[in-house]
Amino acid sequence: MSSKSPVTVLDSLNLGLHQAMRDDPRVILLGEDVLDPYGGAFKVTRGLSSQFPKRVLTTPISEAGITGIAGGMALRGMRPVVEIMFGDFTTLIADQVINHLSKFQAMYHDRVRVPVVIRTPMGGRRGYGPTHSQSLEKFFLGVPGLTILAPFHIKGFETLGTPGKLLYDAIAALDFPVFFVENKTQYLLKLMSTNDLQEYEVSQIETAGAPAFPFYKLALRSAPKAQITLAAYGYMAHLALKAALRLAYEDEIFCEVLVPTQLSPFELAPLFDSVNQTTCLLTIEEGTLTLGWGAEVLARTTEVLGPSLKVARRLAATGAVVPAAPDQEADCLPGIEDIIVRVREMA
């Protein structure tokens, strides 16, 4: 196992998994094609089956089965981590997640715990086509008893990097089911260090939830006060930051970017504080628009801020499917230009 510092989000997640498995013998990993040397379709699990041969199970192509099995294992004292190879396939596990894993604790009158982490890469921009490019986490948002997390590509002061630390905490420290939303393009992003963030003033705010997960606020350093709040998570946060930089420099429209790592249950206090100042909100997501993440964020922001919220819009994927052709795919999924255009409309 390499002891070098993580460079990318992928490195960070891999290190987080290694650390979690090292620290607790009850952690067991199930997934398709996870054995070394292949190490998983996106290599996130690389090295684990060599280090921990008895605790990495390569499974048949049975997403529902392995998720249900993970639930049973958790009920009897293990801490399973399930990899669903593509986020698109999470539709297959919906029954196990919604009717079983997320309900056991409550329906058995708090007498059991279900420490399962289901991790999966969502997202397109690889030309993989309609059934391999979606962002389906929106269908699981708001399922009671289910926590949904998405890492942010910032190194922070964590040896593992913040994505690895988030995953580590999800596995080691939480006793309830977690849906950990990764992103194919985000895997390759370099973790931003202090040097990379010189243009920004970064704050890390702990949310009020129990446990709390970090919520990041990035404003342009030494620039005029932000006029608009951009809310985004995962890979879209990267695009939002790029757009914010260009909007500042090219149009003198100043944004602050709010990035939650906990998507569900919704803990949006830091966002409300920001929008209270800017009065203008744009949510940006890679999933589809209707009843998506942005819809809930806008509903809650409206409830809390009322008429103080003057302008609110959502930016999301369009189209019936995510096309395979790169130019058509780029049209469908929100990009930096789309964010810039929308913000210019709103400012």
Partner 1 sequence: MDKNTQLYKQLYSIRHFETLLLENFPTGVFHGTTHTSLGQEANAVGILSHINEDDVVVSNHRCHGHFLAYGGDPAALFAELMGKPAGVCGGIGGSQHLHWRNFYSSGVQGGTVAMAAGMALAEKLSGKDAVVVDFMGDGTLGEGIVYECLNMIALWDAPILIVLEDNHIAQTTPSHLAIAGDMQKRFEAFGIPTTRLDTSDILEILPTASRLIEKVRFVRKPQALIIETARLGTHSKGDDTRTSEMLTRLWQTRDPIAIHGARLSEQDREAVEQEVKEHLGSAFQTALEMEGGGS
Partner 2 sequence: MDKLTPIKIPLLNTNEPDALLVSLECKEGAPVKQGQVLAVVETTKSTGDILADKTGYLVGLRYMEGETLPAGEVLAYIGETPDAQDPAMPPWSGKDTLQLEEVNQPNGLRITTPARELAIASGLDLSSLPHGPLITQQMIEKRLSGQIPPQPQPIPAGEKRILIYGAGGHGRSLAAMIRKLGNFEILGFLDDGYPSGDQVFGLPILGGSEKLPELAQDGVRLAVNGIGGISDLQVRLSVHDLLYQASFFCPTIIHPTAFLEESASLENAIQVFPFAYIGTEVTVNFGCIINTGVIISHNCELAPFVNLSPGATLAGGVTVGEKTLIGMRATINLNVHIGKAARIGNGATVKANVPDRGVVPAGSIWPPRR
248 binds partner 2 (CB under 8 A): yes
Choice from 57, 69, 92, 223 touching partner 2 (CB under 8 A): 223
Q: If we measure between CA atoms, which residue out of 85, 92, 93, 7 comes closest to residue 45? A: 85
φ, ψ (nearest 5 deg) of residue 52: -130, 65
The H or E element containing residue 258 is strand 255-260
7 binds partner 1 (CB under 8 A): no
66 binds partner 1 (CB under 8 A): yes
75 binds partner 1 (CB under 8 A): yes
The CA-CA-CA angle for residues 140, 258, 335, to 5°, reads: 75
Among partner 1, partner 2, none, residue 42 binds (CB under 5-8 Å by kind): partner 2
The widest CA-to-CA distance across the chain, in whole angstroms, is: 58
Among partner 2, partner 1, none, residue 62 binds (CB under 5-8 Å by kind): partner 1
| Residue 302: Cβ within 10 Å count | 14
Q: If we measure between CA atoms, which residue out of 278, 235, 237 comes closest to residue 257? A: 237
Tokens of 210: 């129990």
CA distance 240 to 56: 36
Choice from 1, 188, 291, 299 touching partner 2 (CB under 8 A): 188
Measured from the CB atom, is 4 or 109 closer to partner 2?
Answer: 4
Between the CA atoms of 157, 158, 163 and 165, what dihedral angle is there, to the nearest 10 degrees?
-140
157 binds partner 2 (CB under 8 A): yes
Stretch that binds partner 1, among 66-74, 158-166, 185-193, 308-316 (CB under 8 A): 66-74
**Footprint on residues 31-60 left by partner 1 (CB under 8 A):** 54, 57, 59-60
CA distance 78 to 26: 5
Measured from the CB atom, is 194 or 318 closer to partner 2?
Answer: 194
175 binds partner 1 (CB under 8 A): no
CA distance 91 to 193: 36
Please report how close the Cβ of residue 154 comes to partner 2 at its closest, in angstroms.
13
128 binds partner 2 (CB under 8 A): yes
> In 100-248, which residue ranges form alpha helices assigned H by DSSP?
104-107, 161-172, 235-246
Per-residue binding string, partner 2, 280-319, x by CB under 8 A, is ----------------------------------------
Q: Which residues bind partner 1 (CB under 8 A)?
A: 28, 54, 57, 59-60, 62, 64-78, 80, 95-96, 99-100, 106-109, 111-112
